[in-house]
Structure 1
């Protein structure tokens, strides 16, 4: 036995027979690669992000912009219905024009992707940053700090977002950029859920031996959080953040639809739906296109988030394999 121990401690011993364990990133990609739905969703999300980033280039290629009015392309005698078939689709206007104003629908759709995705991503970053900080402080702090932060988290979870948005709109100057305001409102209000997740995980982790050893060695709370807890919290935080993005897109669309979010002439999918609710019979594409874009984006992000959760959680991946194996055995 002693010889075996010495051989195992000798550098290079058994290197020819024992392969090096795969890195965390390689294991994650290996698990994610087995989920076709998640890969398709990732491709859809990548395409949407590419369209949003290249929106100025795409509209320049079409020769239009999202704010220019074209009154000659709508029939004022019929209330502003687009002239021509299928909402005014032509070589100059690939998806037609907006009723009443004649603004190019393709340009507003791709620029709306920039606003909707940008607001959702910025809000998610704020939620994750605040939620992780509050959750770590609550889990590592004393009883008084934990109770104080937990009550504050409960208040933020129960706080109605729409009411707070209306209150902020009453005090924020109208010149303040509305997409930035919506992102800040969603980010500073919606961090309660991730704070609860981080707090629960921190409480379970700080009782482990390596964390207790770090505390006994005199490490401060910030160093323990950075060196011992944050690596273990990466998987649940990334999973929660991946599922927050589609939720925030829906919230931004709802705020814009209710008239308290992004305002014209800035293009947003929710703002487009606000103006399209009375045109679904005369110009159905004006309603269907932003609704379809919103549906596809939320669905793809949700499927991708679920795939990321399964890939980051080995227990979930093993349960998935066991369930698949049982189904195959039953079928045989």
Structure 2
């Protein structure tokens, strides 16, 4: 890839220094946003916990599915035995009411399910949305009309209602996390297809795309070499904002009983029965709810930071009024009157 060269003079000779690449500019803008960096650190920690869930639970010596009836008081309806919901050296965050399953193990494995379903659904949404958006913008008029009307129908569909309907009729033998990711991904791609179509319609009229067309490049060669790199920034931005939305959708579906089924742990599925235990075992409700809140907040802040870093116009607007004060001109320095002031005094 060719780099833009900036000329600079040094010791009477001209030296050419490569300009800062787009990737370096992106990282520089992103590093300037402390909130986005903090959110990225939180997201990285959550991903690390999700990936290392088997190792962490092995260190604790527990797993997310084993029942411990001796750790709950059946006479009181299954309340965990011991202080703070059964927290001990063997169960770091206590145990689940009625079943006695380890909460730390279920929380860490639930992170794998929630984040995995959200990321998989986002990949499906981006793949379908980019493909149909580019095809609509570059295709013939009838194809554009057909795909645009189909996209309008998808956008008009209520995501939660359609997901509930589809998940309710699929046999329970189908892996539930995979099914939730597919359903959410196949229903939620409409908005990104609209964004890609609008961007592609604008870009295909530019001079370099016209020159590529006149050079004999095919439609898909132009899309792959000229258009897809140009629409990468808005697609990445929208995808970063889709992940927290998909986490919320998965949690809501699991909470309603049509998402991830027990004994597979999921934060939304853990909240399904936690509302009746908020007094006897408050951590059973607060831990998955807090994990969902922190994850969605961190991903939202990170997505907004990525949007700002990828859009130079947003970055320049944020800098207005925040830079250094303009240095005063020589004729405006203290003790020296400007020409205008002298004329007015005369």
Normalising by structure 2, report the TM-score: 0.88
Is it true that 1:158 corresponds to 2:131 in the alignment? Answer: no
Cα distance in 1 for partners of 2:13, 2:146 equals 53
Question: Relative to structure 1, is the Cα distance of residues 166 and 19 closer, same or farther in structure 2, using a 3 angstrom cutoff?
Answer: same
Aligned length: 318
Deviates more, 1:104-113 or 1:138-147: 138-147
Cα distance in 1 for partners of 2:70, 2:316 equals 62
CA RMSD of aligned residues (A): 2.0
Question: Relative to structure 1, is the Cα distance of residues 274 and 146 closer, same or farther in structure 2, using a 3 angstrom cutoff?
Answer: same
Q: CA deviation at 1:40?
A: 0.5
The aligned runs of 1:62-77 (5 Å cut-off) are 62-77=60-75
Question: Relative to structure 1, is the Cα distance of residues 327 and 275 closer, same or farther in structure 2, using a 3 angstrom cutoff?
Answer: farther
Helix, strand or coil at the partner of 2:277: coil
Question: Relative to structure 1, is the Cα distance of residues 327 and 119 closer, same or farther in structure 2, using a 3 angstrom cutoff?
Answer: farther
The aligned runs of 1:42-61 (5 Å cut-off) are 42-61=40-59
Partner of 1:184: 182
Partner of 1:319: 317
Partner of 2:285: 287
Which of the pair has more CA radius of gyration?
2
Partner of 2:301: 303
The aligned runs of 1:230-245 (5 Å cut-off) are 230-245=228-243
Which runs of structure 1 show a deviation greater than 4 angstroms over 4 or more consecutive aligned residues? none
Cα shift readout 1:157-198 (whole Å, capped 9, x = no counterpart): 111223322332344221110000000001111100100100
Q: CA deviation at 1:18?
A: 3.9
Helix, strand or coil at the partner of 2:17: coil
Task: Note the residue ranges of structure 1 that are not aligned, 5 or more in a row.
Answer: 1-7
Q: CA deviation at 1:325?
A: 3.8
Q: CA deviation at 1:15?
A: 8.1
Cα distance in 2 for partners of 1:60, 1:327 equals 58
Helix, strand or coil at the partner of 1:93: coil
Cα shift readout 1:94-136 (whole Å, capped 9, x = no counterpart): 0000000000000000000000000000000010000000100
Normalising by structure 1, report the TM-score: 0.92
Partner of 1:264: 262
Cα distance in 1 for partners of 2:322, 2:157 equals 41
Q: CA deviation at 1:318?
A: 0.8
Partner of 1:215: 213
Is it true that 1:80 corresponds to 2:78 in the alignment? Answer: yes
Cα shift readout 1:223-269 (whole Å, capped 9, x = no counterpart): 11001101101100000011010110000001001111001000000
Q: CA deviation at 1:199?
A: 0.5
Task: Note the residue ranges of structure 2 that are not aligned, 5 or more in a row.
Answer: 1-5, 327-346
